[in-house]
Amino acid sequence: MKLALELALEVAREAGTLLLELQRKPLEIREKTRRADIVTLADGASERLIIERLHAEYPNAAILTEESGLHKGTSNERWIVDPLDGTTNFAHGYPMWNVSIAYEREGEITAGVVYAPAMEECFTAERGSGARLNGAAIRVSEIARLREALVCTGFHPANFARNGRHFATVSDHAQAVRRDGAAALDLAYIACGRFDGFWEFDLPPWDVGAGILLIREAGGTVTRTDGAAYAPGDDSILATNGSIHGELAAVLL
């Protein structure tokens, strides 16, 4: 049996290649739950490929995915998958989109991949072995003050107003705030030091599974926005390089 990280990497690359191919064809874009929450034919095609490949190698593991939910397993293992994170970016040819695959054993995420095919960047992490970008070790930034920090956020399509207030407040304190539209990649960018902090509300597990392992393995910190311990599925997330964590948490109160 292939090791989880090796398999996740292989499958993410296959899904990425498929997505690049599909991006050149009609995407059949439709609104999923509401305006500003879209899904394309490519989301489903990527998901089907990933489920088939993961299930063939790990037939007992559960698989949790965005488009088809939980595929139950019989072991204490679970794959957590976003087959296309950043669908809106993908549909517009903005390169910030990715395939995110995390592997969890006994409730703990031990391997994760965030692959951004349009930028040929692949972020990987294994618990206890650090985080990597295209094979080279990465670390979070050393920025120590919020006024020097580049911070990112995202918006849940059901409630833009809730985070709008925080977007304005953090903009008043940080060097700048970005909204790049692909949560898993936003987290990966903290792991490699491009962003110094990230927060969002109501993110589901498939958006954060691989990203939080990347950040922790790269020396960063992940909590809820109120500073309490974070678990995938919690209604808020605050991820930083560690140094600006307290300052950013205070601004988000």
Q: Which residues of this chain interact with ligand IPD, rule CB under 6 A? A: 82, 85-87, 154-156, 181-183, 200, 203, 207
Task: Report the C-alpha gap between 250 and 12 in whole angstroms.
Answer: 37
Task: Report the C-alpha gap between 103 and 54 in whole angstroms.
Answer: 10
- Those residues with Cβ within 8 angstroms of residue 185's Cβ, 6 or more apart along the chain or in another chain: 85, 86, 96, 97, 98, 114, 116, 211
Residue 154 binds: one of Ca ion, ligand IPD, none (C-beta under 5 to 8 A by kind): ligand IPD
* 180 touches Ca ion (CB under 5 A): no
Candidates 76-84, 123-131, 151-159, 230-238: pick the segment binding Ca ion (CB under 5 A).
76-84
Task: Report the C-alpha gap between 108 and 194 in whole angstroms.
Answer: 26
Helical (H) or strand (E) element with 116: strand 108-116
Question: Beta 30-31 vs 38-39: how paired, if at all?
Answer: antiparallel
Beta carbon nearer to Ca ion, 66 or 202: 66
CB of 78 to ligand IPD, least distance (A): 19
- Report which residue type is found at 238: L
Beta carbon nearer to ligand IPD, 197 or 219: 197
Task: With CA atoms as reference, report the closest residue to 187 among 120, 232, 129, 246.
Answer: 232
Of 18, 80, 82, 90, the one binding Ca ion (CB under 5 A) is: 82
Beta carbon nearer to Ca ion, 85 or 217: 85
Q: 134 — alpha (psi -120 to 50), left (phi > 0) or beta? A: left
Beta carbon nearer to ligand IPD, 87 or 110: 87
Residue 197 binds: one of Ca ion, ligand IPD, none (C-beta under 5 to 8 A by kind): none
Q: Between residue 12 and residue 41, which ones bind Ca ion under the rule CB under 5 A? A: none
Beta carbon nearer to Ca ion, 66 or 196: 66
**3-state DSSP assignment of residue 148:** helix
Q: Between residue 189 and residue 208, which ones bind Ca ion under the rule CB under 5 A? A: 207
Of 4, 7, 66, 124, the one binding Ca ion (CB under 5 A) is: 66
Residue nearest to ligand IPD (CB): 154
Q: Which residue stretches of 122-227 are H helix?
A: 160-173, 183-191, 205-217
Of 5, 22, 85, 115, the one binding Ca ion (CB under 5 A) is: 85
Q: 109 and 102 in contact (C-beta within 8 Å)? A: yes
Residue nearest to Ca ion (CB): 85
Residue 203 binds: one of ligand IPD, Ca ion, none (C-beta under 5 to 8 A by kind): ligand IPD
Q: 62 and 71 in contact (C-beta within 8 Å)? A: yes
CB of 206 to Ca ion, least distance (A): 6
By the criterion CB under 5 A, which residues form the site for Ca ion? 66, 82, 84-85, 207
